A and B are shown apart, each in its own frame.
Chain A
C-alpha cells in the first residue's frame, strides 16, 4: 500500500514565523503535490514537483515555496506565515503521468495549520 505521511496533524504558528510542512511517500512516486483546502473553495494546488529539484507553480503559489531534494520528500515552506494561510494542507503523490492508470493521486492525512 502507498503511504504518504505528513510531519504534523495540527500546527499553531504566529504571524511572521517561517513554517515548514514535510511530506514523505514510500512508493518511489515521481510526482508530488501540495494542496490547501478551505471551506467552500475545495482543493487548490499550491505547487507540484515531477522530479527531484523540479517544481511547477500551481494555482495559488504566492506566499509559499517548496523544496524537493530527495525523491521521497516534498517540503512546503511558508516564508512568513500570515493569518490568511490558516488552512488544511494536503500532500499527495502519484506514480506518473505517462500512463493514465498511473496518475491516481495518494493523499496524506493533512496538516491543519492555524496562524495567529
Chain B
C-alpha cells in the first residue's frame, strides 16, 4: 500500500510570500494529484502529474519520479489561497487496484493579509 506524507501539516504565511508544500510517497505511481479544499468542504482538483512540471496561474506543481516526491508552489500568495491542500497518488498496479487514489492528510495553509 502506498504511504503518502505531506509536509508541513500547517503553514501560515504573509500575503505575497512564496509557498511550498511537499508530498512524498513510498511506492511507484501512475499519477499524482494536487487538490484544494476550502472551508465548507468543496474539493477542487488543481493538477494531475505523471512527470515534470505543470503551471496554472500562480500555482506550480513539480514531480520527481526517482525521488518519489512532489511539490506544490504558490507564488505571490493571497488570503484567498487559504485552504487545505491535499496530495493524492494512484499507484502502479494491476486490475482493480489501479483505480484507487491514496490521499495525504492535507496541509492547512493560512495566508494573512
Give residues in A with beta carbon < 8 Å to B.
Answer: 31, 40-45, 48, 50, 56, 58-59, 88, 90, 92, 97, 100-101, 103-107, 109-110, 112
Contact = CB atoms under 8 A, between A and B. Distances in A.
A58 to B, nearest CB: 7
Contact of B106 (A42, A90, A101): A42
Contacts of B106: 42
Given A43-B86, A58-B100, A109 B41 contact: yes
Contacts of A43: 86, 88, 101, 103
**Nearest 3 pairs of A and B residues by beta carbon:** A110-B41, A107-B43, A43-B103
Nearest to B105: A42
B51 to A, nearest CB: 11
A103 B30 CA distance: 11
B45 interface: yes
A104 B99 contact: no
A56 B100 CA distance: 10
A59 B4 CA distance: 15
Interface string B68-96: 00000000000000000010101000001
B100 A88 contact: no
A103 B31 contact: yes
Contacts of B41: 88, 90, 109-110, 112
A112 B31 CA distance: 29
Contacts of A48: 99-100
Contacts of B31: 100, 103
Contacts of A97: 98-99
A41 B45 contact: no
B68 to A, nearest CB: 18
A45 to B, nearest CB: 6
Contacts of B30: 100
Given A100-B31, A100-B48, A45 B42 contact: no
A104 B50 contact: no
Among A42, A45, A58, A59, the most chain B Cβ lie within 10 Å of the Cβ of A42
Given A42-B103, A100-B30, A109 B48 contact: no
B27 interface: no
